[in-house]
Amino acid sequence: MRETMVLRKNKNMVTRVIDDETILLPIYKTSDEINSIYTLNRVASRVWKLINGKRTLGEIKKQILKDFDTIPEEVSKEMAKFLKDLKEIKAVV
């Protein structure tokens, strides 16, 4: 994870809180066209909220460390995995 990197959200993806779970879904698809629904845990949904095309990944990581009771190594690992997933489904550019 490059901490100076800045990511932008794909405008065609939104999150919804359904049954206390945050899901990420493509909005311009019919339900027949959506194969999978992605569920975000608390850290991932906070990271998603913080991605705004301006904040660097380093700044987001700092914020996560403030918001959650966790250690830097854990956050780096979790964020790296989540960002890889997001890139794979083109949810961020």
Partner 1 sequence: MKTQPYNNFWQQIHDTARKKGTLLRVMLELTYNCNFKCKHCYVPQSYRKKKGELKTEEVFSILDQLKQIGCFYLGFTGGEPFVRKDIMDILRYAKRCGFEIIIYTNGSLIDEKMADELALLRPNKVDITIPAMSKDAFEKISGVSGSRDKVFNSIEFLHKRKVNLGFKSCVLKENETEIKEIQDFAASLGAPHRLDDLLSPRLDGSEEPYKYRGEMIKSREQDRPSVLDCRLSERDESPELITDNLFKCGVGVSQAAITPFGELKMCLMIDYPKYNILEGCLRNCWQRLKELTSDIKPDEKYQCNKCELEPYCKWCPAKAWLYNKTFTFCEPEGRGKAEQVRQLSNNI
Touching partner 1, residues 63-92 (CB under 8 A):
82, 85-86
Among 1, 25, 50, 92, binds partner 1 (CB under 8 A): 25
Binding window for partner 1 (CB under 8 A); candidates: 2-10, 11-19, 52-60, 61-69: 11-19
Whether 43 and 30 have beta carbons less than 8 Å apart is answered as no
Nearest distance in Å: CB 2, partner 1 = 20
Rank residues 12 and 70 by Cβ distance to partner 1 and give the closer one.
12
Whether 7 and 57 have beta carbons less than 8 Å apart is answered as yes
